[in-house]
Structure 1
């Protein structure tokens, strides 16, 4: 699709902003990043993983010690509980390995469909379409989906784009939403796909 070819030239380095070294770390930082800036998560995650480098260590983490490390993150106590419980389930039910299906991932504490898809796509390279706020907003404005529901947007994008492009498509739409097609003040004059946009409030300058 031409839109994606254009975005590929605009954002050749489009990727997940979060830093991680394996699927478990990605799962943890994705939970931390809910309603929190990715950049802030990247600041605290090295310290967190130095102290708790794997699911066993994370499952056995002292609540207060772990919370102290992640306290700069919004809802850190709740997220800490989710991460510890999630780690215990990985150890007990999945032999210490992050599962590789949406159905299994969403059984983990703090993991919804978006987080599961992020892990599949970026942790394992399995084609998936994680619909975050950026992807959702851009998909609606470009007319790729008319629905606000993330699962319906995911379904629409899956029908439009070939499976082997799903991961790249979400990175590109995410970058467009993050840096140009922002929620309140989109930089329409900088948008490389302005002509395809059906957003009623778009401005040429």
Structure 2
């Protein structure tokens, strides 16, 4: 399995970040290649299914995903359910010293709802490119599935970075340079 992790800090309340990330249809606003996310069934919790329509070059493809688990306000697990072995999660880590009982790190009882201390948000993706089904795409004549994979896989890193960066800017309500920490365990991306 190849792995990609993109993490950064966001100046927002962890519960707000979690609720924001649970809204999968919003992701199309942040991606260059994701055209639409349609809710097939569910309310965002475990078992919720989505149809994600991607368009790149002369190819359009609709992936199917499912939310497989949630741990509010810290984790949302998902997997692709058709054509490729892939999945991942969003992790939200509260600021150090943040207490779940509403007491802030300063002991005053004021939780950090103003976003003075950042929480960490991470998008973690694992996938096996070798599991991709060549029958999943209707390719133009004389275009091989291997060529498409070779060109498309490196785009995954750029897309993940773009989604995290734009989501942070939306959460914070302003544009800033978002410092991303990127971990890649793959020689393909």
TM-score scaled by length of structure 2: 0.24
* Structure of higher RCO (CA pairs closer than 8 Å, 6+ residues apart): 2
Higher percent of residues as strand: 2
Higher percent of residues as helix: 1
TM-score scaled by length of structure 1: 0.23
